[in-house]
Amino acid sequence: MTPKSHKIAVVIPKYGLVGGAEGFVSELTKRIALERRYNVHVFANMWQSNSERITFHKVPVITFPKFLTTVSFAHFARMEIAKERFDIIHTHDRIFEADIFTMHGIPHRMWVNEVRKKRMSLFDYGTVWVERRLIENKRCKKFIAVSNLTKEKFLKQYDIDPDRVVVIHPGIDIDRLKNLNRQSCRHEIRQQFHISSIDKVILFVSMNFEIKGLDRLMAALSRLKFRYPSEKFKLLVVGKGNEKKYGMMAQNLGIKEQVIFAGIIRREHLEKIYIASDAFSMLSKFDTFGMATLEAMAASLPVTISSNVGAKDLVRQGVNGYIIDNKSSTDDIADKIRSMLNEETRTRMAQEAFTMAASHTWDEVTKKVADIYGDIFF
């Protein structure tokens, strides 16, 4: 007897494009769709996919005036979904109602007030209104948070039963990194960026230098150079940001020669950079998870991250990396980074980092989400 096929509506404005949530949804849904018991439909405004087992539906968005962006997406998503009957609506963004809501960010009001430290705009008020309607809708049976930090923030903002919130971290395709040759990657990357063989490479990856704490990291590395002048290192900055501003900052801190801005790197080449590096650091002001941290650990890099990064769930202090408290001095951060650069310590921590990352595969994530689907069905 053929098992019943359940229709799943997955909602995300941009599917399979650049971004943590976009990548999470893409990796999850293409695996869910491989299971014959699920018939997966994705509702998005834009998408990029090569899966033949997923049906895509266009959701219009009104982007001008800007305050209509979130509200219009929620409105049109509801209209498109209503054209068919679905067993489960699983949304990864703010819409009016769903059975499951995966929270890739913190409550929007918190983001504006506490992280961005800005005044609420019409766009922000509209986004908060849609978010509240979704969370307070009785239809929503489960909330999935990508980290304990995300869960804590939502429970602080909304009166939600903690038992309805489950933490499922993003996954990693461990084989993509494991199959790369470390020595050849090190040789290639060091040649490309003119890094000598005696320099240790500290990697920073971000599309927002300010939020991800590049200034704090550079200040700590300035102290590292001043206190331990024999320590040879390079900070390899990958991503998008105000290079002129941070270049001047590096010069003022006396580490201009130690900082290399690599710009935006395509995915395949970025994996080689992870493998070629010695350690990873990201001292974010706030990050609901921080996918780059997991990617670094999968490449066997010990990590130094701030306590504001959700991926701290995976970091064991002094075992596979360090969690930096907000009150930590630049000297303290410098000492922890120096510890990771020690050959013996780095080798030990690198193996522990890989072991942790290897337990967070996308197959494991898919199984956990499928179990939630099963709970709702049965």
Domain membership of residue 65 (yes or no) is: yes
Claim to verify: residue 144 and residue 232 sit in the same structural domain: no
Residues 13 and 114 in one domain: yes
Q: How many helices and strands (H and E) does the chain possess?
A: 14, 15
Does one domain contain both 79 and 155? yes
Q: In terms of domains, do 322 and 183 share one?
A: yes
CATH code where residue 64 lies: 3.40.50.2000
Share of the chain above pLDDT 90, in %: 88
Q: Residue 250 domain-assigned?
A: yes
CA distance 167 to 214: 28
Write out pLDDT tens, residues 198-229.
999 999 999 899 999 999 999 999 999 999 99
**Spatial distance between the Cα atoms of 321 and 289, rounded to a whole number of angstroms:** 16
Q: What pLDDT, on the 0 to 100 scale, is given for residue 218?
A: 98
Mean pLDDT of 316-335: 95
In a domain, 324, yes or no: yes
Residues 149 and 179 both lie in one domain? no
Please say whether the dihedral angle defined by the alpha carbons of residues 363, 369, 373 and 376, taken in this order, is positive or negative.
positive
Same-domain check for residues 339 and 369:
no
Percent of the chain predicted with pLDDT > 70:
99
d(CA 295, CA 169): 13
Radius of gyration of the chain (CA): 22
Range of the domain at 326: 174-358
* Residue type present at position 281: S
The pLDDT, as a whole number, for residue 26 is 93
> 221 and 325: one domain?
yes
Among 189, 364, 205, 166, CA closest to 284: 205
If asked whether residues 233 and 298 sit together in one domain, one would say yes
Q: For residues 47 and 126, is the Cβ–Cβ distance under 8 A?
A: no
Predicted local distance difference test score (pLDDT) of residue 3: 59
In a shared domain, residues 18 and 108: yes
**What tokens does 85 get?**
């009957």
pLDDT for residue 18 is more than 80: no
Q: What is the pLDDT of residues 65-97, one digit of tens each?
A: 999 999 999 999 999 999 999 999 999 999 999
Three-class HEC string of 66-106: HHHHHHHHHHHHHHHHCCCCCCEEEECCCCCCCCEEEECCC
Same domain as 18, residue 143: yes
Domain count within the chain: 2
What is the DSSP annotation of 144-159? EESSHHHHHHHHHHS-
Q: Is residue 22 helix, strand or coil?
A: helix
The predicted pLDDT at position 1 comes to 46
**Do 49 and 158 sit in the same domain of this protein?**
yes
Q: Please indicate, yes or no, if residue 1 is contained in any of the structural domains.
A: no
> Quick count: other Cβ atoms within 10 Å of Cβ 191?
9
Please, what is the end-to-end C-alpha distance for the chain in angstroms?
A: 19
Q: How far apart are CA 253 and CA 135, in angstroms?
A: 46
Do 160 and 179 reside in the same domain of the chain? no
Q: If pLDDT is split at 50, 70 and 90, which confidence band does 19 have?
A: confident
Q: Tens of pLDDT along 365-376?
A: 999 999 999 988
